[in-house]
Every structure is written in structure tokens, then in C-alpha cells.
């Protein structure tokens, strides 16, 4: 088994709530804009943009919003300039946290992150302090109703996927990051409905914390996840998913 992120699983189950908060569209627009800025506005020659557009369509973002975000990225329309950044730190109990950021003001963002970390008993770390605890992997999610595990595994291997893991109500398919889109498209061609397809940072091992620290860790992760400049939050915490609302 390739392993997965407990916090990513929890966030997937909170997806509907996240969408209601409005952060989803904001993050997707930023991702489309910066993808177009870096790699151009053509989906066929820009895999990152293609993935961002597909995610936006899955989230039912209007086509006009997608088009404007691309045009702002390519400079055809005026707009804010966004940058990628990665920040690292620790939650209470020694939990490692990795944050992927899309921001128009790094000074503001790092100040906000430091404030959130301090407020919830965490600390911001130096570059490289925890990144070595995570591996970058493509993760394709199917509902468990997609089929029997043996049949799904065969489809995964035929699509170029690396591994399949059953996680309660879903299958988690692992891929090399640059093969994520090809695996997704191959599975869709086989008739499978994709719940999500993301490049994620997967912890190499999970870190257990005592019950005293669990509420603090969850509060910190949720506060970071709500910040509009933070695209993704990853943590190596091993936690019972029933302990989150």
C-alpha cells in the first residue's frame, strides 16, 4: 500500500462545507491564473492549466469565470499577479505541516500563517524542516461503488496507475505526479466516475498524538485550511476521523 494522508481524507469528507465557504472558487481562479501565466493559455500544451480547468468544471464554475482567469494569467486582461510558495511548520504534539500557497503578497501571507500557527500552539519552521517527511504523488479518488476491488485494480494497472488502496467509502489510486491526468482520462474512458484527482504531498509515515493535543491540532489545521492564500494543507498526523465534525 502506498499510504495516504489522514488529513486529506478528512478534508475530502468536508468538501461540501468548504465549497459553501466560497474558498473553493477563489483557490481555483488563482490556480488557473498562475497556471496560464507560467505555461500559457492553451490546455493542450499546459498540463497544470488543463488539470485546473478540469477541477473548475467539476466544481461547476461558470465558463466565463474560467476564461477570465486564463486571460488574466496570460495578460490579455488586467489582474492580480499570484506566486507559488511553500511554508512548513509544526502543530502541537510534533505534527509536521506543509502548506502550499498561492498569493499576491508573500509578506502578508507569511505573517497571517505565523499568527495562525502561534494562536493554535504551533510554530512556523525553516524551509526544508519538514518537507523531507512528504512525497509528491498523484491521487485519484473513486467511490467504493465503482466496482469490486479486483476489477478496479485491473483497470488501475491498465491505466498506468501504481497502486490501489481501499479507504472506507472510496478507492485511492496512486500515480506518478506527471501521469495523473493520463490515468484519470484512461479511467474515465473505462467508464469510471472520478471524485477527485490531485497531486498531493503524502506523508512517508504518520505521527500519533495524544488525546490532549488532538483538538489543538485539528483547530490549527482547520484555521490554516480556511485561509484564502493557502491552496493545500498537508499534515502527517494519525488521527481518528470520527473526532472531527
pLDDT of amino acid 74: 92
Angle (nearest 5°) at CA 244 between 241 and 245: 130
Q: What's residue 104's pLDDT?
A: 92
The pLDDT of residue 176 is 93
- Of 53, 87, 58, 57, nearest in space to 70 by CA: 53
**For the range 26-29, what are the long-range contacts, defined as Cβ-Cβ under 8 Å and sequence gap of 24 or more?**
26/228, 27/102, 27/228, 27/231, 28/52, 28/55, 28/56, 28/59, 28/61, 28/69, 29/56, 29/61, 29/65, 29/69
Q: Cite the beta strand spans of the chain per DSSP E.
A: 83-91, 95-103, 123-124, 134-143, 163-167, 170-175, 194-203, 207-208, 230-235, 237-238
How far is the C-alpha of 124 from the C-alpha of 111, rounded, in Å?
A: 10
Tell me the pLDDT tens digit for each residue of 181-233.
899 999 999 999 998 888 899 999 898 888 888 889 989 998 998 899 999 99
**Average model confidence (pLDDT) for the chain?**
87
**Structure-block grid coordinates of residue 67:** 476564461
Low pLDDT (below 50) residues in the chain: 1-3
Confirm if 4 and 139 have CB atoms less than 8 A apart.
yes
Domains of the chain: 12-74 (1.10.10.200), 83-132+206-237 (3.30.70.980), 134-203 (3.30.70.980)
Amino acid at each position: 500500500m502506498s499510504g495516504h494522508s489522514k488529513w486529506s481524507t478528512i478534508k475530502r469528507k468536508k468538501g461540501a462545507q468548504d465549497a459553501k465557504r466560497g474558498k473553493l472558487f477563489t483557490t481555483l481562479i488563482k490556480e488557473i491564473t498562475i497556471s496560464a501565466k507560467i505555461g500559457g493559455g492553451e490546455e493542450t500544451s499546459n498540463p497544470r492549466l488543463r488539470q485546473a480547468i478540469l477541477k473548475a468544471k467539476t466544481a461547476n464554475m461558470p465558463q466565463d469565470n474560467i476564461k477570465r482567469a486564463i486571460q488574466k494569467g496570460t495578460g490579455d486582461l488586467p489582474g492580480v499577479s499570484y506566486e507559488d510558495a511553500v511554508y512548513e511548520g509544526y502543530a502541537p504534539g510534533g505534527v509536521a505541516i506543509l502548506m502550499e500557497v498561492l498569493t499576491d503578497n508573500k509578506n502578508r501571507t507569511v505573517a497571517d500563517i505565523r499568527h495562525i500557527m502561534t494562536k493554535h500552539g504551533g510554530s512556523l519552521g525553516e524551509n526544508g524542516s519538514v518537507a523531507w517527511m512528504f512525497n509528491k504523488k498523484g491521487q485519484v479518488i473513486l467511490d467504493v461503488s465503482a466496482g469490486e476491488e479486483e476489477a478496479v485494480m485491473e483497470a488501475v494497472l491498465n491505466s498506468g496507475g501504481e497502486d490501489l488502496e481501499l479507504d472506507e467509502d472510496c478507492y485511492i489510486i496512486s500515480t506518478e505526479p506527471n501521469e495523473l491526468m493520463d490515468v484519470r482520462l484512461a479511467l474515465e474512458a473505462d467508464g469510471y466516475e472520478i471524485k477527485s484527482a490531485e497531486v498531493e504531498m503524502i506523508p512517508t509515515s504518520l505521527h500519533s498524538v495524544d488525546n490532549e493535543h488532538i483538538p489543538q491540532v485539528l483547530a490549527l489545521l482547520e484555521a490554516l485550511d480556511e485561509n484564502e492564500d493557502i491552496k493545500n494543507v498537508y499534515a502527517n498526523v494519525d488521527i481518528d476521523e470520527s473526532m472531527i465534525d
